[in-house]
Amino acid sequence: MQKSEMLQESNISKFKSQVQSSQENHFSLLQRETEKLRGDIDKMRSELKYEIDKVTAGQRLDLNLERGRIRDELAKQNEETTELTTKLDKEIHSLKAQLEAAKYDVIKYCIGTIVSISAVGLAVLRIVM
């Protein structure tokens, strides 16, 4: 009986050591798998950060290019507006000069006509008297 108890204890002890060894092996496998998954997660995180930075930089570049294009277009429109304003000012001054010249001519001819009519009137008056 003592022999069978010893045999059972020996079997139980072997079983315990096998279970413990199996647990340790399983635990080490789980740890390695966890470390591998952490590495994969870190790698994916860094790749995602890189892609986000790349997209953000691309959008920033596009935005700056669009801003520059709008700035250039606005400068071009301002230049065209300035040119048109200058052209209109020149035409207005030219028309004012022509109007002044025409006004001077009208006054000159009116005075000439009045003087001529007065001279003819005085001549007629002298002849009649």
Tell me what the mean pLDDT of segment 2-31 comes to: 89
Separation between Cα atoms, residue 82 and residue 128, nearest integer Å: 68
Share of the chain above pLDDT 90, in %: 84
Q: What stretches of 1-129 adopt beta strand conformation (E)?
A: none
Spell out the domain ranges in the chain. Answer: 1-93
Nearest one of 29, 7, 6, 10 to 18, comparing CA atoms: 10
Lowest mean pLDDT among 15-29, 58-72, 84-98: 15-29
Over residues 36-42, the mean pLDDT reads 97
Say how far apart CA 87 and CA 80 lie, in whole Å. Answer: 10
What pLDDT is recorded for position 89? Answer: 97
Per DSSP (E only), the strands in 1-128 are none
* Whole-prediction pTM: 0.51
- Higher-confidence residue: 10 or 53? 53
Q: What is the pLDDT of residue 97?
A: 97
Q: How far apart are CA 48 and CA 29, in angstroms?
A: 28
Question: 68: burial class by Cβ within 10 Å (0-12, 13-18, 19+)?
Answer: exposed
Q: Select from 5, 16, 75, 43 the least CA-distant residue to 51.
A: 43
Query: Confidence class of residue 1 from pLDDT cuts 50, 70 and 90?
Result: confident
Dist. CA 114–CA 108, nearest whole Å: 10
Give the whole-angstrom CA distance, residue 98 versus residue 109: 16
Total length of the chain: 129
Give yes or no for residue 8 having a pLDDT over 90: no
- DSSP three-state, residue 99: helix
